Amino acid sequence: MPMPHRTFAQVAKRRLTGKEGRERIREVRALLEELPDYRNGPYADLRKWLLSEIEESRVRSSAVHRDSIAVRREGAAQIALVGPPNVGKSSLLQALSEIQIKTSDYPFTTLRPIPALTRIGGVLVQLVEIPGLIEGANEDRGGGRALLGVLRSADAIIYCVRATAEPGELRPVIDEVTLAGIQKPAFLAATRADEASPGAVERLAGAFPDLEIVPVSVIDEASLDAFRDAAWRLTGLIRVRLRTAAGTEPDPIALDPGATVTDVADSVHHDLAASFSGARVWGPSARFDGQRVGRDHPVEDGDVVEILI
């Protein structure tokens, strides 16, 4: 006695739920094997439906493949800038880096993610403008899935909205990111702050109590510095400078928190990490200037380290 066709349809749907691509096709094939081989009637309809599922899964997976966008990682961390159109994301990237990007007073000037390297306290960090993330992105509206994919691989997110905006303008963006299950360190940049009337930033802060608000304007250098500092804090990285016979290196090394002097030596050269005998340390992790430490001594943000061979 075969399973009643209605039960079979229910079981089939349950078994296909949440499966995509090759896995879905394999499951469909297994179901086809189990299906009674009638030429007509409800079982034949089920067969037709399952066969069409194979074809549709194929089309969907090739579409997902084509639509994914890879942004080549550069620098110590990758931070995505996301927000409604026309809030000044490209202008910010321009003000913070060397690149020339198209900006304009129209929405959707930027159509693809644009990376730009910015130097924060001597360390290069990659900022990526994510254009046009709109309501329905999770259903791929506006090519949203690929954009969410870029956000997913970033280390942190900066939400951007005009300081004068109604909070409702940013809400759909945050909702789509949340719906996609993406959770990253984040803050909210209140952009074009020079246009804002007093109280505007406080209003945004009230609407988004969970996010630190950083007001920023491309014509206010001090606000750009504060933006850089906040972006650096999002990375969670620490900065350590090397001291050599020639003096202290101007550009720091970026390391994960918890790094030791061995990691510092390793960033200079793998061989050095294998052979060095210890280090001298100045700064927050040292009990006194020039303290002699062993290979496993943990460094802290702001340390200066001399590797001893």
Enumerate binding residues for ligand GTP (CB under 6 A): 85-91, 103-105, 107-110, 131, 191-192, 194-195, 217-219
The CA distances from residue 292 to 20, 273, 302, in Å, are 57, 17, 17
Q: How far is the CB of 6 from ligand GTP (least distance, A)?
A: 50
Nearer to Mg ion, 90 or 260 (CB): 90
Q: How far is the CB of 266 from ligand GTP (least distance, A)?
A: 39
Residue with the CB atom nearest ligand GTP in the bound state: 88
Nearer to ligand GTP, 98 or 105 (CB): 105
> Is residue 135 classed as helix, strand or coil in its secondary structure?
coil
CA–CA distance, 141 with 155 (Å, rounded to integer): 24
Q: How far is the CB of 155 from ligand GTP (least distance, A)?
A: 21
Tokens of 97: 């880096």
Nearer to Mg ion, 89 or 241 (CB): 89
Q: How far is the CB of 87 from ligand GTP (least distance, A)?
A: 4
Binding mask 77-116 for Mg ion (x = CB under 5 A): ------------xx------------------xx------
Residue 218 interacts, among Mg ion, ligand GTP, none and using kind-specific CB cut-offs from 5 to 8 Å, with ligand GTP
Handedness of CA 92, 93, 97, 98 (dihedral sign): negative
Nearer to ligand GTP, 107 or 206 (CB): 107
Residue 137 interacts, among ligand GTP, Mg ion, none and using kind-specific CB cut-offs from 5 to 8 Å, with none
Q: How far is the CB of 67 from ligand GTP (least distance, A)?
A: 19
Is-contact 223 215, C-beta < 8 A?
yes
Residue 201 interacts, among ligand GTP, Mg ion, none and using kind-specific CB cut-offs from 5 to 8 Å, with none
Q: How far is the CB of 216 from ligand GTP (least distance, A)?
A: 7
CA–CA distance, 25 with 158 (Å, rounded to integer): 38
CB-based contacts of 16-25 (< 8 A; 24+ apart in sequence): 16/53, 20/57, 20/60, 20/61, 20/64, 21/57, 21/60, 21/61, 21/64, 22/61, 24/53, 24/57, 25/54, 25/57, 25/58
Q: Given the DSSP bridges, would you call strands 212-215 and 186-191 parallel, antiparallel or unpaired? A: parallel
CA–CA distance, 105 with 88 (Å, rounded to integer): 9
Beta bridge partners of 125: 118
Nearer to ligand GTP, 105 or 296 (CB): 105
Nearer to ligand GTP, 179 or 219 (CB): 219
**CA triple 123-127-129, angle to 5 deg:** 170
Interface residues with Mg ion (CB under 5 A) are 89-90, 109-110
